[in-house]
A and B are shown apart, each in its own frame.
Chain A
Amino acid sequence: MTQSDMKKSRAPLYFLAMALLISAVGLLQSWNSALSILNMGLISAIMALGVNLQWGYAGLFNVGVMGFVALGGLAVVLTSMPPVPAAWSAGGGRIIAALVVGVMIIAGAAVLWKRMPKGRTRGLVLTAVLILGFFLFRFLLDPAVAAIEAVDPAVSGYLGGLGLPVILAWPVGGILAAGAAWLVAKTALGLRSDYLAIATLGIAEIILAVMKNEDWLSRGVKNVNGLPRPVPNEIDLQNAQWFLDMMVRFGMDPTTGSSIFVKLLYALLFLAVIILIVTAMELALKSPWGRMMRAIRDNETAAEAMGKNVTGRHLQIFVLGAAIIGVAGAMMTTLDGQLTPTTYQPLRYTFLVWVMVIVGGSGNNWGAVLGGMLIWFLWIEVEPIGAWIVNVITSGMDDGSSFKAGLIERVAYMRYLTMGVILLVVLRFSPRGLLPEK
């Protein structure tokens, strides 16, 4: 066997090992938890694919993953929740007017910036336009917001969505994230890599601030519960005769069975999305476009000298990567069935995805998928494994001892330490990851 054959045969082996790990959870804990890990693992894999597109293909350092994930979540609310007619009549038109005016002010400022001659007058005029525009915007927005938020605040107090099927929210999440990414890229892509990183870190926090604060849009910290689902409800299944018959045939308890059945349906949907994205990305990578991207990543100056539009290509790939992350964010919120803006944390949604990409192998799509599944598995399972180890070590100790209780409490936070150690070890000893770029 030659060396390249060895490398080729490694991927199926790793994925088999991954399947065994998840099956082990099914056998040792429960199939329900195993399928939960699988589903979130698949979503994490899609996030990792998005980051891999930006980092692995183009060398763009994006630490605003959390923001794009959250926008995907917002897309689910905006697409699938039923509209709230009372709120729309209370202030919907005025909100739209305010937003249109806001966009026009910014566009107008941009035009002024381009048209007016350079100098002090330009700066003054621009500042005046922006400040007056801000007050005009707030003058239009504020009463509408107050009116909307007063509409039955306990259950709605927001405009609601479009009432469309929830699956549509996934591409919409991608579009929202792509739009935000385009704005970021337009302002920050020309900057040095670590300035781009800080800029993306900032934009993610701002997206989150908007979602927590603009109740008329997303209900803010009051959360949106009961999002529509693309799969049947467990309760409906438990009452359906065909499902009960099937459960009898499998000899399964219908309550557990219905929950496993729903999770399997989700898994199939997610798998379909992953296959679609990986296929598209692999085709793109092997196309002339993919070769150009790698050429730019490896030597920007040389690529530019060959007449390649480096900034344009970077913009393109940054937007595409963000769109993939947005789709994953929408899928995650669909799976959760609720949008809770306070749960988005940079460590969990930005830096953990980075661990996935680095561990899996940056530049390799299958690596990103594997990294996503494996790191998510560890993120969930480190805690029970740690608790088990502590229990074994301290089995001789008295149950009431404060040392033992303290140790068990500490184990809950072990996942952060473990992720850091894994990332550092991989970077040091195997910087190309589990499945290196070919």
Chain B
Amino acid sequence: MDILNAFVAFANFVLIPATAYGAQLALGALGVTLIYGVLRFSNFAHGETMSFGAMVVVLVTALFQSWGLSLGPLPTALLALPFGILVTALLLLTTDRVVYKFYRKVKAAPVMLVIVSTGVMFVMNGVVRMVVGTEDRRFADGARFLVNARDFKAWSGLDEGLAIKTTQVITVVVALITVAALFWFLNKTRTGKSMRAFSDNEDLALLSGINPERVVTITWLLVAALATIAGALYGLDKSFKPFIYQQLLLPVFAAAIVGGIGNPLGAIAGGFVIAFSEVTLTYAFKKVITYLSPDSWSPDGLVQLLSTDYKFAVSFAILIIVLLFKPTGLFKGQSI
């Protein structure tokens, strides 16, 4: 029986990775939820938007690195982040003017906008592939670990080493700052309040003189920031693969819907619910159980509830359960 070692093993393989992944999903889901709240459609191009933002960050990082610019122990990508947001914002605003604006004007059905967004998804996917190709890119530099497994073992005298990657800490810190800034904006500023009013009741907002086009523009700017940060953090933590963001679409949507689509707080909660369930259910608990069991008994199998390939099934199952029993999500979202 060795509770400390068991806890360290659990933290190492479940707690810390799931927290970082949850923060990334939450940022992605916030983008989806904002678009849903204001523009009232599910944006299938959101995964590609994250991919595009991350790509710009990767390219600007490479440029900075070639100039010898760096942040010391922190990844250079943090410096490149604002440029990524800027370029993504330009892309989203252009897309809105060229594509989405027309459908707002003719008051198209939401499902029409979803189909339109799949067209945008194709275009963005093509653009990303044409600019950087499809290969894997690592762009994290600076210190790799904040807490190193070997140092931790020497310091604590435990058998199990604890490793915390710099990118994981950065993910959580950046996500916290972003979310705090977003909530301050939505709740405290005049513009943010007008956005929430527009999302709650469009007609009433229009009557009180809120300019809808301005609200839409600001939404796209926020979405650009959220998507780029989410995409870049995910790429920093794992590595940048253009097609991986396509696969993030499902957990991101699941997070937004589970939390209650249209509700920013729900998106964050949903992100962590999905991330923790995915990682916990697909982690092989053999090590943890071996530490916890008396003497040196250890289970025969890996004690893995589901193979890692089934992580989609986990997001999906949670999504279906929530939709069946609480259709508006954990936090009350919109239900049109």
Contacts and interface: CB of A to CB of B under 8 A. Distances in A.
Interface string B19-46: 0000000000000000000000110100
Contact of B254 (A202, A346, A428): A202
A414 B121 CA distance: 14
B209 to A, nearest CB: 31
Interface stretch (A190-198, A282-290, A325-333): A190-198
Contacts of A59: 111
Interface string B304-336: 010101101101100110011001000000011
A409 interface: yes
B127 A417 contact: yes
Identify whether the interface residues of A are mostly helix, strand, loop, or mixed.
helix
B137 interface: no
Nearest to A138: B305
* Central interface residue in B116, B253, B309, B319, by most chain A CB within 10 Å: B309
Given A193-B110, A420-B122, A358 B324 contact: no
B246 interface: yes
Contacts of B247: 205
Contacts of A233: none
Interface string B84-123: 0000000000000001001000000011101110111111
B126 A416 contact: yes
Interface string A167-191: 0000000000000000000011001
A161 B217 CA distance: 56
Contacts of A410: 130
Contacts of A414: 126, 130
A415 B123 CA distance: 9
A194 B111 contact: yes
B118 A413 contact: no
B257 interface: yes
Contacts of A192: 335-336
Given A198-B42, A201-B250, A206-B316, A423 B111 contact: no
Given A209-B310, A427-B116, A347 B320 contact: no
Interface string B229-255: 000000000000001001101100110
A16 to B, nearest CB: 28
30 contacts: A59-B111, A61-B111, A61-B114, A61-B115, A63-B44, A187-B320, A191-B323, A192-B336, A193-B111, A195-B323, A197-B114, A199-B323, A201-B253, A202-B250, A202-B312, A202-B315, A202-B316, A202-B320, A213-B307, A213-B309, A351-B121, A351-B122, A355-B119, A409-B133, A413-B129, A413-B130, A417-B127, A419-B126, A424-B119, A427-B112
Interface of B: 41-42, 44, 99, 102, 110-112, 114-116, 118-127, 129-130, 133-134, 243, 246-247, 249-250, 253-254, 257, 301, 305, 307, 309-310, 312-313, 315-316, 319-320, 323-324, 327, 335-336
The 3 lowest CB-CB distance pairs between A and B, nearest first, are A420-B122, A417-B126, A416-B126
